[in-house]
Amino acid sequence: MRGKCLVVGGYVLLGHGGVGLVIPAGDLYIDVIIGFETSGTPGLHVILEDTDLRRFLVSWPIGDCGTVDKEIRYVCAATVAYYGWWRLDLGVPLKIHIRTASCGTRGKLGIGTSAIVTVAVVRALSQAVGPKLTEKEICIVSHRAILLAQGGGSGYDAYAVVYQRPLIYKQSLKYLREMATNETGGTRSRAYAAQPGCRFVTLDRRLQYTLLKPWEFDTLSTSTTKRLGKLPSGYQDLPGFTRLRKATRRLLCLLAGSLGPEKHVEVSRRIRRYREAQREFGQQTGINIEPLEISPHLDRLSSLPGVLGAYCVGAGGYDAFLCLSVRDVSDLDALAAEYRFLDLF
């Protein structure tokens, strides 16, 4: 199962009915084993196995999961959302065993591990205990679980993990309101009807999308997500937001089409405009999607042979940034001493 990377767009845009281009990122293998016990303490028994075996017992119904391990929190939330969705209460001990193993990644790069765990648990519950969920219903339940665990989110990460394909995600404000007011329940038919639009795209394989993060910023706070969530009302009326929204759509439309050599100059130009719009938005709101310390890295990468451009993705900040290059022309492997990186596509 693969994670996600919002390569064009941003949380601030999706939160107001915008669009984003999402590419599955990285490989993460997850085994989810659901079991019931005839005896023992009723509740949810979650076992996470990675390098060490860790055991947690969480009471049912689950209250505040905020004090437990991050991955456990998402498992708890996924279970609550699933049973809240179907109004089920088994009243018996439920044991969930999670085994994860990464493959092909060079360190975590903000590629949506929490979304992978959430979707995997919801899907496993659906298959093991029923009722069976459709892919669209898995998206809704997983999004509700993510809201329970972290208090916010547009839902695009759950959709990207469920469908495992590059897609354009068009936010629905009606859907966001439904999720915000009915995280653990609500009317299934309303949430189903208000789902955001998803359009699958076929990206040009002549280009290579690489996610990078400088080693020097490895321990820094990952992104500006929390600060973006505190933007004052009315910021969407600022000229900087309007420009950022237009630059987002233009770059998205360009990347979703054929990108032969004749389009390379235009791609570079659109990426520059996208970065300029991000900076203008930062000047008007005080929140820099592209931090000043990151700009020299992006400028340097953009000047390398075969590289069409580089820019901050998602909520920006120190999470990671994207480098778009011509396949088999650029030599990014030579930068391994300076960056952690992962080929997305």
Q: Domain holding 234: CATH number? A: 3.30.70.890
Of 31-40, 46-55, 109-118, 211-220, the range with the lowest mean pLDDT is 46-55
* β-strand partners of 213: 340
CATH code of the domain containing 39: 3.30.230.10
> Residues of 141-170 as b/e, b for ≥16 C-beta within 10 angstroms?
bbbbbbbbbbeebbbbbbbbbbbeebbbbb
Higher confidence at residue 159 or residue 47? 159
Of 137, 170, 200, the domain-final residue: 200
Q: How far is CA 253 from the centre of its chain?
A: 20
Decide if pLDDT at 62 tops 60: no
- Identity of residue 98: I
Taking the C-alpha atoms of residue 32 and residue 338, their distance in angstroms, rounded to an integer, is 36
What are phi and psi for residue 166, nearest 5 degrees?
Answer: -60, 135
Burial of 63 (0-12, 13-18, 19+ CB in 10 A): exposed
In a 3-state reduction of DSSP, which class is residue 45?
strand
Residue 261 has pLDDT above 60, yes or no: yes
* Span 215-220, average pLDDT: 75
Q: Are residues 212 and 182 in the same domain?
A: no
Average pLDDT, stretch 10-33?
81
Contact of 202 with 166, CB cutoff 8 Å: yes
Q: Is the peptide bond before 61 cis (omega within 30 degrees of 0)?
A: yes
Higher pLDDT, 77 or 162: 162
Give start and end residues of each alpha helix (H) in 47-89. Answer: 70-86
- At residue 100, the pLDDT reads 63
Least confident piece of the model among 96-110, 164-178, 205-219, 231-245: 96-110
Sequence-distant (≥ 6) Cβ neighbours of residue 53 within 8 angstroms? 47
Between CA 122 and CA 311, with CA 229 as vertex, the angle to 5 degrees is 90
- Extract the runs of DSSP E, i.e. beta strands, from 41-182: 44-49, 53-58, 94-103, 167-170
Q: Are residues 235 and 322 in the same domain?
A: yes
- For residues 44 and 102, membership in a common domain is answered with yes
Same domain, 268 and 195: no
Is 159 in the same domain as 235? no
CB atoms within 10 A of CB 171: 21
The alpha helices in the chain, defined as continuous H runs, are 11-14, 70-86, 113-129, 135-150, 156-163, 173-181, 188-193, 225-228, 239-255, 264-285, 295-302
- Do 80 and 97 reside in the same domain of the chain? yes
195 and 213 housed in the same domain? no
The mean-pLDDT minimum among 22-36, 50-64, 124-138, 268-282 falls in: 50-64
In this structure, how many other beta carbons lie within 10 angstroms of the beta carbon of residue 280?
A: 18
Q: Check residues 23 and 269 and name the one with the higher pLDDT.
A: 269
Q: Give pLDDT tens digits for 121-130.
A: 899 888 887 7
Nearest to 169 by CA among 157, 158, 153, 156: 156
On whether both 278 and 323 belong to a single domain, the answer is yes
pLDDT at 56 over 50: no
What is the pLDDT at residue 67?
A: 45
Q: Taken in order 262, 264, 265, 266, is the CA torsion positive or negative?
A: positive
Nearest to 69 by CA among 90, 53, 80, 82: 53
Q: Are residues 196 and 212 in the same domain?
A: no
Confidence check: pLDDT of 69 > 60: no
Closest CA to 308 of 321, 325, 331, 287: 325
61 pLDDT band, cuts 50/70/90, is very low
Q: With 90 as the cut, is the pLDDT of residue 278 above it?
A: yes
- Residue 264 binned pLDDT confidence (cut-offs 50, 70, 90): very high
| Alpha-carbon span 98 to 78, nearest angstrom | 13
What are 190's two structure tokens?
A: 């309303």
Across residues 159-173, what is the average pLDDT?
A: 90
Q: Report how far Cα 214 is from the mean position of its chain's Cα atoms.
A: 20
Same domain, 172 and 212: no
- pTM score, two decimals? 0.82
Same domain, 235 and 265: yes
pLDDT classification of 66: cutoffs 50, 70, 90: very low
Lowest mean pLDDT among 12-26, 78-92, 226-240, 321-335: 78-92
User: Residue 125: its pLDDT value, please?
Assistant: 86
User: And the tokens for 284?
Assistant: 């008007």
Over residues 167-209, the pLDDT tens digits come to: 999 988 888 777 766 544 445 666 677 788 899 999 999 999 9
Output 37 or 145, whichever has higher pLDDT. Answer: 145
Residue bearing the bigger pLDDT, 44 or 281: 281
Domains held by the chain: number: 2
What's the mean pLDDT in 293-320? 87
Domain final residue, candidates 154, 169, 200: 200
pLDDT of residue 226: 63
Q: Are residues 51 and 164 in the same domain?
A: yes
Is residue 47 over pLDDT 90? no
pLDDT at residue 52, as a whole number? 42
Boundary of a domain, candidates 200, 224, 252: 200
Average pLDDT value over all residues in the chain: 78
C-beta neighbour count of 343 within 10 angstroms: 15
Instruction: Judge whether residue 24 has pLDDT over 60.
Output: yes
- Residue-range definition of the domain harbouring residue 229: 207-343
Rg (CA), the chain: 21
- Please check whether residue 135 is in contact with residue 162, taking contact to mean a CB–CB distance below 8 angstroms: yes
